[in-house]
Each structure stands twice: as structure tokens, then as C-alpha cells.
Amino acid sequence: MPVAQMLAADVLSRQDPVLAEILLSELDRQSTTLQLIAAENFTSPAVLAALGSPLANKYAEGYPGSRFHGGCEIVDVAERIAADRAKALFGADHANVQSHSGSSAVLAAYAALLRPGDTVLAMGLPFGGHLTHGSPANFSGRWFDFVGYGVEAETGLIDYDQVRTLARTHRPKAVVCGSISYPRHIDYAAFREIAHEVGAYLIADAGHPIGLVAGRAAPSPVPYADVVCATTHKVLRGPRGGMILCKSELAERVDRAVFPFTQGGAQMNAIAAKAVAFGEAATPAFTAYAHQVVANAQVLADELGEEGLAITTGGTDTHLITADPVPLGVDGRTARGRLAAAGMVLDCCALPHGDARGLRLGTAALTTQGMGEAEMARIAVLIAGVLREDIDARSAREEVRELTGRFPPYPG
């Protein structure tokens, strides 16, 4: 049954129409505006079905075959399937699929490998590091001594020489590679070499590119990193959640770092939904999707550049684009507001140069809707027109409605 009908006909509509209306309104918002947030996607109805299943009722502290609760014999099978599918998909020795989120996965990776006070080298937050990479507002910044590497102001590319120099100077216990906004492939072999030289662990925080890795559209960190942390809800198109991949030697430490050290009972509905998503990601259709995500991002980046936005690094290798709208006479925050009013939803982000905020956008959700290069070119013109105020918000919204009407995320 189509998702909207499912919701409307659902018991929730009869029991709690107020909440049912909110769910339907959100579905309408997602279906009639352009979801350009780089970290978002549309999960399949099958993933949504697993999330909303009775597995949500089950308490399952521990791991398959070794639980603290009774009645886990069926959910154990679900978790084994999820872990086996993740291992096969990514060629990993071990997969822990219990992390509640990407941040929880990173917390567990640190717990497995580090002690409070250890030095960690990671991308600095002003350059695209995540909160878990040493923000003072996050556990990471309070419990570890973070040293930040950056990107070159001119090119926006990671300065691997700087990473090496900082590693030699500070002798970190772990090096973290991964970012919330870096649009280029990361050279995992270079990071491995640097970490190896100073005797540090290499943690790849691959929350963003992991879906592209699954679809063979981006290089894999698995052969290089001691531990790979990831989210399951971005390009990978699974439920909101996290996972950790690692080599066999670290499997026990990672598992203990997740439960009981940093988490309690596993969310079995989310784990089943992860299994469904991994199953989908192993298909040729997903490989084609991942490559189309990148092709779409490259066209969108090129066309936005043609329209006058300054594209960080001059383009993208991934689903993700960061851009400075200032050449069009508008700063990042104002640009985001103008685009939101026109029905185009995206984020602000740090830029490699100065303190100004730029725009971060991605093509994962649009590509799931079936949009291709022609639509990306049209969206670029629309974005630039709205930013220049050549196109008013009302006309832009109409065009967005026309576009989303032809590419509904949940047809039917």
C-alpha cells in the first residue's frame, strides 16, 4: 500500500488524528519541496515497515546468542542477518549494527581504542569535522585532547602534508578521517600511512560516503582503517542509525564498547530495518543509484558554478557539494532562508576560507525520487535565480511543485 494511504488508513488516524495529521503533513512537506540536505534520503516502504514493526517492543541487551533478556530467539536472527549482510556488503571482518546513531558509533570507537586524555588528530570543526571530532560542546572535546587538521584555503583540499606534520608533532593515539562536508574522495591509503608511521589507530568516520561505498561509487575505507564508523540513513538509505566495521582483532573490544559501555538495549526494529537496507544496497539497482547520485551531484555542482556560485574544490566526487553564494550578492544564512521560502531545503556549512558560512547540499534524496541530470540543471538555474532574486519565491515554489509532482518520493 502506498505510504500516504498507509498512514491515512492507519490505526493512528482513528486513535490519534492530531499526530496522524502531523505525520501526513511531514510526508506532504517532504513530497512537495526539494530535499537537498546532504545527509537525508527517502527510505523504502520496506525499511519503514521494519521500523514500525513489533520488533520495536523487544528488549535485547547483549548480542545474538548471549542476551540478558528472554525471548530473543527471533530478533537474534534479525541481528545476525543485519551483521552478515553488512560484512558481505563492505567486505569487513566484523560488523556491529547496534549503534543508535553515527555519533554513538564514534563514541564507541573512541571507547574501544582510547583512554580519556589521549590525543586524537581529526579534521578541525571549522573545516568540516563533525561535533564528535573534538567540539568543546561534545563529549569528544571534553574527554580527549583533539588536534585539528584543515584544508587548503585556496583549493579546499585536505592538506596531507599538514596532517603528517601534525601527526609527527603530536603523536596522537588515533587519527580520524571523515567529514560532514568534504566533497572529495578521501585518500585512505595516505591516512593509513600517516597513522602507521606514528603508531596511531586509524578511525574512518564514513557517515557520509558509506552509501556510495556500498554502491561501488566511492573508495572503501575498510581495507585501511582499524575501525570504520558510519551512519545508515544517508546515501545508504536505511533507517536513522549507526554501525561499526572493524577487523577481527578488534571485534570484541568494539562490541563491548557499544554494549555495555556506551549503550543499553539494542533497538531491534532499527536493526531489522538496517538489514533490509543492506539487502537493498547489495542489488545492481542500488549500484546504479549510487553512481547516479554522483553524476547528479557533478552536474549540479557544474551548473551552480556556471551560475556564479563559488564551488568548494571546484566540484565533487560524491553526493555532496559545498558552495559560497557570496558572488551572487548573498551570504550563506540569507541564501538558506531564501531557498527555504522557495521550497528548497538545504544546510549552511563552514567554508575553507574565512568565517563566512556557505551552503551544503546533496543529491541522495533527489536521485531516489528518480531525478537525473536534466533536473539537476534545472534546479541549479532555480537556485541561482532565487538567490539573485530574479525569480520570486512564489514562482519558484510552483516550479518545485511541478518537479516534485513528476518525481514523488513515495509514488501511489
Ligand X SMILES: Cc1ncc(COP(=O)(O)O)c(C=O)c1O
**Which C-beta is closer to ligand X: that of 106 or that of 348?**
106
**Which C-beta is closer to ligand X: that of 180 or that of 361?**
180
Q: What is the number of alpha carbons within 13 Å of residue 361 lying toward its C-beta? A: 33
Which residues are known catalytic residues?
59, 61, 205, 231, 234, 240
Q: Is 291 annotated as a binding residue?
A: no
**Which C-beta is closer to ligand X: that of 41 or that of 231?**
231
Q: Work out how close the CB of 171 gets to ligand X at its nearest, in angstroms, rounded to a whole number.
A: 24
Q: Work out how close the CB of 210 gets to ligand X at its nearest, in angstroms, rounded to a whole number.
A: 10
The C-alpha cell at 302 is 557544474
Q: Which residues have CB under 8 Å from 152's CB, separation 6+? A: 158, 159, 352
CB 255 within 8 A of CB 96: yes
Which of 50, 92, 95, 106 binds ligand X (CB under 6 A)? It is 106
Q: Is 89 annotated as a binding residue?
A: no
Q: Is 26 annotated as a binding residue?
A: no
Tell which positions 113-132 bind ligand X, by CB under 6 A. Answer: 130, 132
Rounded Cα distance, 269 and 248, in Å: 26
Q: Does 205 bind ligand X (CB under 6 A)?
A: yes
**Which C-beta is closer to ligand X: that of 209 or that of 343?**
209
Q: Work out how close the CB of 54 gets to ligand X at its nearest, in angstroms, rounded to a whole number.
A: 24
Find the angle CA(198)-CA(203)-CA(206) to the nearest 5 degrees: 145
Tell which positions 32-51 bind ligand X, by CB under 6 A. Answer: 39
Among 328, 318, 317, residue whose Cα is nearest residue 380: 328
Q: Does 360 bind ligand X (CB under 6 A)?
A: no
Q: Please spell the DSSP secondary structure of 312-362, one letter per residue.
A: GGGS-SSSEEEEE-GGGT--HHHHHHHHHHTTEE-EEEE-SSSS-EEEEEE
Q: Please spell the DSSP secondary structure of 178-207, one letter per residue.
A: --SS--SPP-HHHHHHHHHHTT-EEEEE-T
Of 173-181, 183-191, 307-315, 317-325, the window that binds ligand X (rule: CB under 6 A) is: 173-181
Q: Does 231 bind ligand X (CB under 6 A)?
A: yes
Q: Draw the binding track, 177-196, toward ligand X (x: CB under 6 A; -: no contact).
A: -xxx----------------
**Which C-beta is closer to ligand X: that of 236 or that of 396?**
236
Neighbours of 355 (CB within 10 A): 7
Q: Is 304 annotated as a binding residue?
A: no
Of 63-71, 99-107, 109-117, 317-325, the window that binds ligand X (rule: CB under 6 A) is: 99-107
Q: Does 238 bind ligand X (CB under 6 A)?
A: no
Q: Is 55 annotated as a binding residue?
A: no
The C-alpha cell at 81 is 542477518
**Which C-beta is closer to ligand X: that of 130 or that of 319?**
130
Q: Which residues have CB under 8 Å from 219's CB, separation 6+? A: 185, 186, 188, 213
Angle between helices 393-406 and 17-32 (to 10 degrees): 100
DSSP type of residue 38: T
Q: Work out how close the CB of 356 gets to ligand X at its nearest, in angstroms, rounded to a whole number.
A: 21
Which of 208, 274, 357, 397 binds ligand X (CB under 6 A)? It is 208
The C-alpha cell at 106 is 564514534
Binding residues: 125, 129-131, 249
Can you give the binding site for ligand X, defined by CB under 6 A?
A: 39, 101-103, 106, 130, 132, 178-180, 205, 207-208, 231, 242
Binding residues for (6S)-5,6,7,8-tetrahydrofolate: 125, 129-131, 249
